[in-house]
Amino acid sequence: MLAKSFKRRILLLYISVVILFLLIFYQLFRLTVRNQEMLTDFAERQHNLVIEIPPERGVIYDHRMQVLATNLRSPSIYAVPRLISKSNIKKLAAILSRILGLDQKYLSDRLLRDKSFVWLKRRTAVKEAEEIMSLENPVLGVAYESKRFYPHSEMLSNILGFCDIDNKGVDGLEMLYERELSGRTGYRYTKRDALGREIVSMEQKLIPAVDGADLILTIDKHIQFYTEQALNEAFLQWKAKAAIAVVMNPKTGEILAMASRPTFDPNFRGKSDTASRRNRPVTDIFEPGSVFKIVTVTGALQEKAIQLTDTFNCEQGFWRARPNRTIHDVHPYGILDVPMVLIKSSNIGTVKIAMKLGDKKLYEYVKKFGFGDKTGIDFPGEVVGIFRPLDRWSKFSITSIPYGQEVAATALQMVRAVSVIANGGYLVKPYLLKEIKDSKGVVLSHREPELRGPIVSPAVAETVKGILERVVSEGTGKGAYMTDIRAGGKTGTSQKLEPNGTYSHSHFIGSFIGFAPVEDPQLAMFVGIDDPHPLYYGGTVAAPVFKSVIERSLWYLGYVPPAVKEGEAAAGTGEIRANPTFSSIS
């Protein structure tokens, strides 16, 4: 009986062993045959390591190859959590919190992750990185990343924009030309050990990174400096809400300077708000006011609706143009000829000129000068402005639009409009990017000026140019007058709208628009001061900014007034005065 029972047990044991071996063989078959591909892939993923090689972001230059935006090597702190004993995490987090100025719980959470690599603080200060290195802790390390740097701080910041923590453009030209600037990421294919660390000697393949292309702008750093300096002084002096300035080559559309106040430092953008980062010459609109009279008078002269010698009764500053519609002048004037209507900036005289031109023709010339359409500048966020179609004009429109009411425009549209007079009748397309070069200096693209027209004849443009010179020498624009440089321009003082939709009697925008030198205009400029106090007339708050910028810029560009040339020639020196140097600009 016992022998029988023993035999059964031996048999069961044999059967169990056979079954066990069958299971083992089945598992071996499953691992080596059925799931071989899946397991091989899994092993490859565990041991293969693909390391990204970031490209160097392209540099942004002004048109004289002065650096406006570049890159610095900045330390970033990382940790290898898999090498950290859990019992040491709290102590290590406390030490890191003191050095890096980060929350201890945040650091503890990152150190507890089951990963072979985590960032603790990116693009930190060199001092903090040195302290981390001094700990000589094998679970901590410092890696150097590229960080965008703007050497001129606030200067040009509203145009350049800025990059995020990953060096990707998120505003301004940095965002618009992200694809060109960013380059192409490279890759290194290698192996890693069980702890996820790279085995350098087992590198398999290398695909080099392609660095980003460089941008060469139309901006001139020196003219930008003069513009920002003068605009900032006016912004502070007149306690303004905002201020805008644009300097452009009137013959080509190249933007030489563009400034906004308030502004920000892109190196510390976290301290700024959205309003200070706005590029106001492109995004903000306002009623042009009296500077718009240039369009009205030019259109009337081109259509021969008026002659220069025609006179208009300016009604001593008070005229009922329509029932329930009264037009005022700042000062009472009687009979004025066409040039004096502009020189004295008479609203009444301008409306009477517009009535001779007629609604339809006035509309056509406003459109010809580019209002109601985008300029097409290469910058994100440009607005179209406000200019209603002719069929939506009211019976009062002809009494408002001629001197810049019922119209809203950007500073860029205004400087483009005055350039029509400065360049002999052509509408130019403003642009900021002159050229793109790759990292080896090969030109990838080059921008050429785009002109439309002529929209008025050279003779009419020359006539209006002469009137605008008189505005500066004897009219409302005397604040822009320069002894050695002939300039033409027009002042503007527009009322802002109150919340209830009525025109304010205490909030204004003072502006000036002009060009110089009159004999061969090289620069056109718009200046706008938003809500200045206590004075607000454009001739007082904006014209002096134009004078300061244009005078310094023309000397810098090598301009020598004809009178100076003649004087030196008469003296027999044959020498031309050298450009002044400005040591404050680097």
- Three-state secondary structure string covering 506-550: EEEEEEEEEEECCCCCCEEEEEEEECCCCCCCHHHHCHHHHHHHH
Write down the pLDDT at residue 455.
96
Give the orientation angle of helix 293-302 with respect to helix 359-368, to 10 degrees. 110
Structure tokens given for 264: 């920000």
Residue ranges of the chain assigned to CATH 3.40.710.10: 221-571
End-to-end Cα separation, the chain, in angstroms = 110
Write down the pLDDT at residue 497.
83
Write down the pLDDT at residue 16.
79
Residue 508 has pLDDT above 50, yes or no: yes
Residue 509 has pLDDT above 60, yes or no: yes
For the entire predicted model, the pTM comes to 0.83
Answer whether 404's CB lies under 8 Å from 291's CB: yes
Cα(420)–Cα(367) distance, integer angstroms: 13
Residue 255 has pLDDT above 90, yes or no: yes
Answer whether 86's CB lies under 8 Å from 93's CB: no
Name the superfamily (CATH) of residues 51-186+199-217: Penicillin-binding protein 2a (Domain 2) (3.90.1310.10)
Write down the pLDDT at residue 585.
42
Q: pLDDT (tens digit, 9 = 90+) per residue, 47-92? A: 666 767 789 999 999 999 999 999 988 888 888 887 788 888 888 8
Highest mean pLDDT: which range of 112-116, 203-207, 334-338, 499-503:
334-338
Residue 254 has pLDDT above 80, yes or no: yes
Q: pLDDT (tens digit, 9 = 90+) per residue, 176-230? A: 999 999 999 888 777 766 655 556 666 667 888 899 999 999 999 999 999 999 9
Cα(129)–Cα(122) distance, integer angstroms: 10
Share in percent of the chain as helix, strand, coil (round to 5): 40, 25, 35
Write down the pLDDT at residue 78.
87
Answer whether 564's CB lies under 8 Å from 577's CB: yes
Residue with tokens 């192996």: 191
Q: pLDDT (tens digit, 9 = 90+) per residue, 387-446? A: 999 999 999 999 999 999 999 999 999 999 999 999 999 999 999 999 999 988 999 999
Write down the pLDDT at residue 220.
97
Regarding predicted confidence, which is higher, 75 or 175? Answer: 175
Q: What is the mean pLDDT of the chain?
A: 88
Write down the pLDDT at residue 374.
96
Q: pLDDT-based confidence at 537, cuts 50/70/90?
A: very high
Q: Rounded to the nearest 5 degrees, what angle is found at the Cα of 368, between the Cα atoms of 329 and 481?
A: 50
Write down the pLDDT at residue 571.
58
List Cα–Cα distances, 22 to 11, 15, 28, in angstroms: 16, 10, 10
Is 211 strand, coil or helix? coil
Answer whether 515's CB lies under 8 Å from 523's CB: yes
Answer whether 396's CB lies under 8 Å from 325's CB: yes
Strands lying side by side in the sheet with 242-248: 255-261, 242-248, 523-530, 503-516, 488-497
Amino acid at 99: I
Residue ranges of the chain assigned to CATH 3.90.1310.10: 51-186+199-217
Spell out a b/e string for 392-417, using b for 16 or more CB atoms within 10 Å of the CB, else e. Answer: ebeeebbbbbbbbbbbbbbbbbbbbb
Residue with tokens 């000062």: 331
Residue 582 has pLDDT above 60, yes or no: no
Cα(412)–Cα(367) distance, integer angstroms: 15
Residue with tokens 């010809």: 368
Regarding predicted confidence, which is higher, 501 or 219? Answer: 219
> Which CATH number does 221-571 carry?
3.40.710.10
**Which of 399, 260, 266 is closest to 323 using CA atoms?**
399
Write down the pLDDT at residue 145.
82
Write down the pLDDT at residue 197.
58
Alpha helices in 61-183 (DSSP H): 89-100, 104-111, 126-134, 157-160, 172-176, 178-182
Amino acid at 518: V
Regarding predicted confidence, which is higher, 25 or 468? Answer: 468
The DSSP symbol for 54 reads P
Highest mean pLDDT: which range of 125-129, 482-486, 547-551:
547-551
Q: Rounded to 5 degrees, what are φ and ψ at 65?
A: 65, 35
Is residue 276 annotated as a catalytic residue, yes or no? Answer: no
Q: pLDDT-based confidence at 45, cuts 50/70/90?
A: low
Given the residues 116, 157, 260, 290, the one annotated as active site: 290
**Which of 544, 547, 531, 548 is closest to 493 using CA atoms?**
531
Give CB contacts under 8 A, 24+ apart, made by 204-210.
Answer: 207/53, 208/53, 209/53, 209/54, 209/55, 209/56, 209/183, 209/184, 209/185, 210/55, 210/183, 210/184, 210/186, 210/439
The mean-pLDDT minimum among 270-274, 524-528, 550-554, 562-566 falls in 562-566
Write down the pLDDT at residue 195.
56
Write down the pLDDT at residue 565.
66
Write down the pLDDT at residue 47.
64
Write down the pLDDT at residue 191.
72
Answer whether 401's CB lies under 8 Å from 351's CB: no
Residue 577 has pLDDT above 50, yes or no: no
Cα(349)–Cα(330) distance, integer angstroms: 12
Regarding predicted confidence, which is higher, 285 or 143? Answer: 285
Answer whether 263's CB lies under 8 Å from 463's CB: no
Q: pLDDT (tens digit, 9 = 90+) per residue, 448-496? A: 999 998 999 999 999 999 999 999 999 999 999 999 999 999 999 888 8
The mean-pLDDT minimum among 326-330, 427-431, 582-586 falls in 582-586
